[in-house]
Amino acid sequence: MKLISFVSLKGGAGKTTALSALCSALLARGRKVALLEGDENAPISQWRSYAKAAGRWDDTCQIYFAADLDSFEKAVVEAEKQGVEFMLADTHGGGSEINSIVVANSALVIVPTAITTYDIDEAVNTMEFVHDQIEEEGTNTLIALLVTKLPHTPNKSRQIEIDRLEVFPMLATKLRDRDAYASMKRDGMLHLTVRAKEADPASRISAKHFKIAMAEADELATDVLVALEE
C-alpha cells in the first residue's frame, strides 16, 4: 500500500480539494483507495456526509482516523488487510505530531499551493518542513508541489509566481479554478457526479464542465502513478 499525503502549513491552499479530485480519479480507474483523516476539522468526513446524501459516494472507499501514532498504525494495518492500494491522507494545517508521523511514512507528499505571493511563501515553508521531517527519519519519501486554483488566463504577475516554483519538484498537472471542484463537497465524488449528470438530460450541458474537471483530475492521477512507478 502506498501512502500519499497532502500537506500544507496554511489553510486555503486547496489541500482537501486536491485530495478529493485524486481520490475520484483513482476510483474511476478501478483502484482500491482509502482516506486517512488527520485533520481535526474532519473535512473528509464532512465530504462523505454530503456525498452520501447526494448518492455519490463509493462505499468501497473507507475513511480511517489518525490522531496519534497508535491510531495511525491501526489504520494502516486495517487498510492493508482490506487490500487498499492507495491511502490518501488529509493532514492538519500547521505542524503537529500526527503530521510528522504521516509525512515520515508517506511514499509521496503533495504540497498544494495557489498562485499568490503569500501562498507560495507558505508552500516553500511547507516544503522545508517536509524535507526536514524526511531527513530526520531517513526515509525515501518523494515530495512534489501541486499548483491549485490556477486562473484560466494567468496574468503576468501570476506567471512570475509560477516561475518561482520551477526550482522545486512539481507535478505537471495544475488544477484550475473550477466550479466543479468548488462544488465537490456538496455534490460528492467527481466521477460519480459526472455519471449522474450525463444520465440526466436536464444536466447534460453542465456535465461537460464536470467532465473537463474529471479529465484534469485523471491527468493528476497519471502524474502521481508515474511518480510512484505504479
CA atoms within 13 A on the CB side of 10: 14
Q: For residue 144, what pLDDT is reported?
A: 96
Q: Residue 121 belongs to what domain range?
A: 2-224
The answer to whether residue 229 is domain-embedded is no
Residue 21 sits in a domain whose CATH number is 3.40.50.300
In whole angstroms, give the CA distance from residue 30 to residue 83.
Answer: 13
The answer to whether residue 8 is domain-embedded is yes
The answer to whether residue 90 is domain-embedded is yes
Model confidence, pTM = 0.93
The answer to whether residue 95 is domain-embedded is yes
For the stretch 59-114, pLDDT in tens is: 999 999 988 889 999 999 999 999 999 999 998 776 677 888 899 999 999 999 99
Alpha helices by DSSP H, listed for 105-155, are 117-137
The answer to whether residue 230 is domain-embedded is no
Q: For residue 11, what pLDDT is reported?
A: 76
Q: For residue 156, what pLDDT is reported?
A: 66
Q: For residue 34, what pLDDT is reported?
A: 98
The answer to whether residue 127 is domain-embedded is yes
Q: How far from 62 is each of 47, 79, 145, CA to CA, in Å?
A: 12, 8, 26
Q: Which residue ranges in the chain fall short of pLDDT 70? A: 94-95, 154-158, 160, 230
The answer to whether residue 201 is domain-embedded is yes
Q: For residue 146, what pLDDT is reported?
A: 96
Question: How many domains in the chain?
Answer: 1
